[in-house]
Amino acid sequence: MGSGKRGLLTAALTVICAVTVLSAPGTAFAAVEPARTPPSTPAPTATPAPSKDLEEVRAKLDKLYHDAAVATDAYNAAEEKAKKQSAEIVALAKKIVEGRQKLEKLKDQAGAAARDQYRTGGLSDTARFLLSDDPGQFLDGAGRMLQGQQAAKKLMTEKARTQQELQQYADDAAARWEELEANRKAKDAAKKKIEKQIDAAEKLQSRLEKKEKERLAELEREAAAKAQTAWLDTGALQGVHGKASSRGEMAVKYATRQLGKPYVWGAEGPDSFDCSGLTSQAWAAAGHPVPRTSQEQWKQLRRVDVKDMRPGDLIIYFDDASHVGMYIGDGAIIHAPRPGRTVTIAGAGSMPILGVVRPDA
C-alpha cells in the first residue's frame, strides 16, 4: 500500500481517537399530568397580555421546539452513524495491519527461496533435474521439483491474494472515512439548527413579563389537558388492559427512576436525557436494545394498535415521528419533553399520536 493509503490510515485512526459524543437533543412539548378535564382558569390578578397574543406565542414556541426536535433526531442519527463508521474504520485498520504483517512474512519466504537458489549456484530444481544422469537423483529431483513448483505457486498466489485484500481494506477504509466526514457535517448542521431554534425560543420567552410567563404555562397545561380529554373521549383506552412483559416492566422502572432529570438534546443519561435517549436507555437497561432515534424506533420496531398497547410500549408523536414517550398505563406516558423541562409524566393523548411500537414484540 502506498504512502497515500498509509496517510489515510493514520488520518483515520487520528479521527477515531478524536470522535466524541457531543452533548444532547430533544422534543418540543410541555409536560402535563394526565387529566380528563382542563383545570379552571383562575381569575386574573393583573393585566397580562391578552390570551390571543399568548396563544400566538405558545404556537410559535411549539413550532420552534418541534423544529429543534426534528433537528435533534437528525443529529442523533448522524451521531449513531458516525459511531458505527468509526468502529468500522478501526476494524479495517486492524485488518490492514495484520495484512501488511502477513505480506511481509510472505516476502521473507520468497526472499529465502531466492537466497537458497543463489547458494546452489543459481540452478533451479528444474535445471538440476534435467542435468542429472543418476536415476536415484533423477527421481529425487523430480519429487523436489514438483514440491518446489507447488510451494512457489502457493506462495505467489497467497501473496497476490493478500495484496488484493489490503487494497480492498484500504478502499473500504477510504469509503468509511468519506461517510464519516459526511455525517460529521450533518451533525454540525443539525447542531446549528437546534441551537438556533432553542435560542429563538428562549429570546421569545425572555420578552415576557412574569405574569405573562405564568399565564403562558397555564395555557400550555390547558392545551395539553384539552387534547388528553379529547383523546380519552374517543374511547381510545376502552379495552386497553395489556399487562407489561417482564422486560417492559424493567423498562418502565428505569424510566420512572429518571423522573425530574433535565431534558438536554442529544443526552442519553445518566444525568439528563432527550426523548429518544430516555426510551432507548430504558430498553437497553431492560436488556433489549432499540434504535437511538424516535424516527428509527418508528421505522424498525413492530407497530401495534392503540387498543393493544401495554406498559413499556413506545408512543410515537407527530407526523414526522419527532417525539417519543413510554406508555406506563392508565392513559399516561413518561417522557423527556423539551429544553427547559424535566422528565415527567404526561397524558398519552396530550400530543398528536402517530402510532405505537413494541420493542419486545
Active site (annotated) includes residue 66 = no
Active site (annotated) includes residue 241 = no
User: DSSP character for 258?
Assistant: T
CA dihedral 110, 114, 115, 121 (to 10 degrees): 160
CA 144 to chain CA mean position, Å: 59
User: DSSP character for 41?
Assistant: P
Phi, psi of 123 (to 5 degrees): -90, 130
Residue with cell 413506545: 314
| Catalytic-role residue among 17, 66, 241, 275 | 275
C-alpha cell at 320: 414526522
Q: Radius of gyration over alpha carbons of the chain, in Å?
A: 32
Q: DSSP secondary structure string, 161-204?
A: HHHHHHHHHHHHHHHHHHHHHHHHHHHHHHHHHHHHHHHHHHHH
Closest by Cα among 251, 85, 71 to 184: 85
Q: 287 CB contacts (<8 Å, ≥6 apart)?
A: 247, 250
Q: 270 preceded by cis ω (within 30°)?
A: yes
The answer to whether the CB of 352 falls within 8 A of the CB of 38 is no
Q: CA separation (Å) from 31 to 146, 295, 343?
A: 81, 21, 8
| Catalytic-role residue among 17, 241, 288, 335 | 335
Dihedral sign (CA 116, 117, 120, 124) = positive
Active site (annotated) includes residue 335 = yes
Round to whole Å and give the CA distance between 245 and 233. Answer: 28
Q: DSSP secondary structure string, 202-236?
A: HHHHHTS-HHHHHHHHHHHHHHHHHHHHHHHHTTT
Closest by Cα among 309, 312, 278, 305 to 293: 278
Residues with catalytic function: 275, 323, 335
